[in-house]
Amino acid sequence: MSEEQETPQENKPIDLSKDKNPEPAPFQPLGNGPVTPPPFQQPPPFGQFGGGGFGQQNLPNSTASLVLGILAIPACCFYGIFGLIFGVIAWVLGAGDMKKYQLNPSLYTESSYKNAKAGKICGMIATILSALMVVMFILIIVGVVANPNMFENFLRDLR
């Protein structure tokens, strides 16, 4: 039975080694606080926002997702390819951050969650628009290659 009392002593150097790793953000020690008690993850997020949210971090990719999602539409000029790339990246980043927030909502701020959600939706919209453009371009290119006369008639109809 005395061996059980020795085991926490063995854990002590591990805890010290964790404390010795200083992370650059000053909010880290506050942010790590809610991790240790798991029952804080069970209540719905709305109750926690009323209780003051200091010690919460921003989601890591929410800003990048939002910015990329918005830049995707001006970027779609070059055959829609850059718009497609930016939109898909924004979509994936936003969706990943939303999952991260839903796993433990007490860790992150709600505003960054909203930003990630907006970035995901903007990325979806830009992806759909760029995909429409790419499909149209592919159809036109296939048409030009397959039947050039048809394309000339098509141009004449557009005039």
Partner 1 sequence: MAQPQHSFLDWIGEHLFNCPFKAHFGFDCPGCGLQRSVLALFRGDLIASFKFYPATIPLIFVVVFTIVHLKVDFKFGAQLIKIVFAGVAVIILINYIYKIYTHQLI
Which residues contribute to the site for partner 1 (CB under 8 A)?
A: 63, 66-67, 69-70, 73-74, 76-79, 111, 114-115, 117-118, 121-122, 125-126, 128-129, 132-133, 137, 140, 144, 155, 158-159
**156/145 Cα distance (integer angstroms):** 18
Task: Choose between 75 and 107: whose C-beta lies nearer to partner 1.
Answer: 75
- As given in the structure block, the two tokens for residue 42 are 């069970």
Cβ(90)–Cβ(65) under 8 Å? yes
Cβ(85)–Cβ(138) under 8 Å? no
Q: Least distance (Å) from partner 1 to the CB of residue 85?
A: 15
Task: Choose between 69 and 105: whose C-beta lies nearer to partner 1.
Answer: 69
Q: Least distance (Å) from partner 1 to the CB of residue 19?
A: 32
**93/35 Cα distance (integer angstroms):** 23
Q: Least distance (Å) from partner 1 to the CB of residue 66?
A: 6
DSSP string, 116-142: HHHHHHHHHHHHHHHHHHHHHHHHHHH
Place of tokens 């592919």: 138
Cβ(76)–Cβ(130) under 8 Å? yes
Q: Least distance (Å) from partner 1 to the CB of residue 158?
A: 5
Task: Choose between 40 and 79: whose C-beta lies nearer to partner 1.
Answer: 79
- As given in the structure block, the two tokens for residue 123 are 């990325």
Task: Choose between 30 and 132: whose C-beta lies nearer to partner 1.
Answer: 132
Q: Least distance (Å) from partner 1 to the CB of residue 74?
A: 7
Task: Choose between 35 and 141: whose C-beta lies nearer to partner 1.
Answer: 141
